[in-house]
Structure 1
Amino acid sequence: MLNSYKGYRMLLVHAHPDDETINNGSTMALYAALGAEVTLVTCTRGEEGEVLVPDLAHLAAHATDSLGDHRVQELAVAMKALGISDHRFLGGDTKKYRDSGMMGTEPNNRPDVFWQADLERASDDLVAIIDEVKPHVMITYDEIGGYGHPDHIQAHRVAMRASEKSHWDIEKIYWNVMPRSVIQEGIDAMKEVGSDFFGAEKAEDLPFAKDDSFVHAMVDGNAYVEQKMDAMRAHATQIEVDGPFFALSNNLGLQVWGNEYYTLVKGEKTEPFDSKGYEQDLFAGVDITR
């Protein structure tokens, strides 16, 4: 089975270091192990992220403002864990686009943040990568960036605009999706042990939980979920080992992170399908002879 996907190419477009692992870590590890060429493009260094490690609090934007450099290092370790060798920052410079912070905050107004970037110029940076890599499949966020973060929304806009402008025709484009039924299962499991998941009472309370009808594909990456967990641990400033992500794993099992879900927005839904009618292979139907 190894190298059975040789010649297949996948491009992922994410806003900050750690987004790729949470959303697509098992998918990335799976296809890389099977021989596909997997390229990750990260748009910012995540300078405005909250530092969850007390000993590293000095890295924060309001202190020494050196979190970005540290997160670049965390990302490199995470990519090694997932087996990904081709990783780039948008525009070829780790500092070209700065993290914009949450919507409505002061950083949004800085001229160097990703949210303020000219869409055509930023998408041109991605077009150059698309025309070089020639991906058969591209993965990014939906139109609200999953939960409304300005950098996620901008990454979506840049990715979709670049796909329109590029000389290379990407056959299949997917957006990340978290189905409500899966989130609700996690919330219920956490309640049983007297805990919660981001303080939510029900899945509808979480902005990133979407109706199951948006799910068109599910990648079973459970054989590579340990690599995903190692990559999550690598993002130590952003993901707490004893926080909700790992607590969910403890109460639902690692399968909650091994299965990753997608909405197909370009291309044809293609067999094989699982019992729910979801695609099982993101490359299904792709023509790699061109």
Structure 2
Amino acid sequence: MRNMTDRRMLLVHAHPDDECINNGATMARYVDDGVGVTLVTCTAGEMGEVLVPDLSHLAYEEKGGLGERRRHELEQAMKVLGVTDHRFLGGFGRFHDSGMAWHEDGHAVAGEFVPDNAFWHADLTEAADELVPVIREVRPQVLVTYDQFGGYGHPDHIQAHRVAMYAAQLAAVPSYRLDLGEPHDIAKIYWTAMSESRMRASLRALREAGDTETFAGMEPDGKLPPFVTPDELISARVDGAATVQRKMDALAKHETQVRTDGHFFAGAESGHSWWSEEFYRLVKGTPGPADADGFEEDLFAGL
């Protein structure tokens, strides 16, 4: 590992495992580069689906306890990535997983039942005030979070976006809540993205291999869901070829949420070539130099 630099990155995610799926290779790469990487997870994912039959009793609708289990899974995943600064927004248990349901159009929405202390119901300013002191303490130059739709509509992802963006604004205000720390303005803010060209190429490989189940309902030349971003809207592409194995090993630690024989780890779209490239939209800051494809290669470029 290289010597620590003065570069710092803050990532804000909704549940344990979101960080590995979206940014695992990026996080490991910057850890290796000596960047200070801080992860803030907004809920413990208490209402997530339990994919391990022997642990089904942990489900919210059963005996419960999934949040504590996912807390442990997150700790193990961060050890694999090398991230030593990971926190829950406001402390563990401050905000509860809101749950979700599937809309007939194929995206997530709030379910009929939402717990009273759910993150989705949190007052925006109160939740942002839990993140402001983290921003002012860590003083990151780069913030990574979801887009305004949370990628696929999950209410906790949408709320994480809102909280991260509002907190970034509040943290920079010279006169705002000085009891929460010295004001800090984050230079560059990115939203996670999935490349349309990569998704279409993946779908084509799947269908040509005879796999009609993975990403069922999506076709190479058909309409794609909202979590897929047209390449012309993408600003940066991080090459995580050297760290993708750690990404996949870390993701496997979230064992209640992913199946190692599922589409993340098996099938025509799995493997290093697919998961090693992570894409981002720049929403604040000056873009750095672009590669031959027009993408920034370093989220800190231009600072």
| 1:278 alignment partner in structure 2 | 295
Deviation (angstroms), 1:4? 6.2
Contact 1:233 1:239 in 2 (8 A): yes
1:113 has 2:118 as partner:
yes
Q: Matched residues in 2 for 1:94 and 1:180: separation?
A: 36
Structure 2 equivalent of residue 52 of structure 1? 51
1:132-187 deviation digits (Å, cap 9, x = unpaired): 00000000000000010000000000000000000200000000000111111111
Offset, 1:205: 3.5
Displacement, 1:7? Answer: 1.1
Residue type of the alignment partner of 1:8? R
CA RMSD of aligned residues (A): 1.4
Mapped contact 1:107–1:113 kept (Cα < 8 A): no
Residue 193 of structure 1 and its aligned partner are, at CA, apart by: 2.2
- Indicate if the aligned counterparts of 2:214 and 2:263 stay in contact, CA closer than 8 A: yes
2:281 match: secondary structure: strand
The corresponding residue for 1:28 is 27
Is 1:73 the counterpart of 2:75 in the alignment?
no
Gaps of 5+ in 1: none
Aligned to 1:152: 157
**Corresponding residue SS for 1:245:** coil
Structure 1: how far apart are the matches of 2:238 and 2:98? 31
Q: Which residue of 1 aligns with 2:130?
A: 125
Name the residue aligned to 2:274. 256
Does the 8 Å CA contact 1:200/1:206 hold for their aligned counterparts? no
Q: Deviations over 1:3-54 (max 9, x none)?
A: 2661100000000000000000000000001100000000000011111111
In 1: Cα distance, 2:269 partner to 2:47 partner: 31
**Residues 29 and 227 in structure 1, CA contact (< 8 A), matched pair in contact too:** yes
Aligned length: 281
Query: Which of the numbers 260, 267, 285 marks the counterpart of 1:267?
Result: 285
Q: TM-score, with normalisation over the residues of structure 2?
A: 0.90
Written as runs of structure 1 = structure 2, the 5 A alignment for 1:181-192 is: 181-192=197-208
What is the CA-CA distance between 1:253 and the residue it aligns to?
3.6
Aligned-partner residue type, residue 150 of structure 1: P
CA distance in 2, matches of 1:191, 1:247: 14
SS at match of 1:223: coil
Q: What does residue 96 of structure 1 align with?
A: 94
Match of 1:180 in 2: 196
Pair 1:87 & 2:86 matched? yes
Match of 1:240 among 259, 269, 273: 259
Letter in 1 for 2:298: D
> Could you tell me which of 216, 219, 226 is aligned with 1:199?
216
Contact in 2 for aligned 1:14/1:20 (Cα 8 Å): yes
Q: 2:104 matched to which residue of 1? A: none
Identity of aligned residues (%): 52
Name the SS of the counterpart of 1:107 in structure 2: coil
Cα 1:60/1:252, change in 2 over 3 Å: closer
Q: Could you tell which deviates more after superposition, 148-157 or 2-11? A: 2-11
2:11, 2:269 → 1: CA distance? 29
Distance in 1, Cα, partners of 2:195 & 2:286: 21
Say if 1:51 and 1:238, in contact at 8 Å, map to a contact too.
yes
CA distance in 2, matches of 1:133, 1:104: 32
Instruction: Assess if the C-alpha contact under 8 Å between 1:3 and 1:36 holds in 2.
Output: no
- Separation (CA, whole Å) in 2 of partners of 1:252 and 1:21: 15
Query: Residues of 1 paired with 2:24 and 2:126: CA distance?
Result: 29
1:5–1:31 CA contact under 8 A, matched in 2: no
Measured against aligned partners, the alpha-carbon deviations of 1:76-116 in whole angstroms (never above 9, x if no partner) come to 0100010100000000x2111000011231332x2200000
Q: 1:275 to 1:121 in 2, by over 3 A?
A: same
CA distance in structure 2 between the aligned counterparts of 1:67 and 1:86, rounded to whole angstroms: 22
SS at match of 2:266: helix
Q: Do the aligned residues in 1 keep the contact of 2:203 with 2:269 (CA within 8 Å)?
A: no
What is the CA-CA distance between 1:199 and the residue it aligns to?
1.1
How far did 1:246 drift?
A: 1.4
Conserved 8 A contact 2:129-2:167: yes
Task: Tell me, in whole angstroms, the C-alpha distance in 1 between the residues paired with 2:43 and 2:270.
Answer: 32
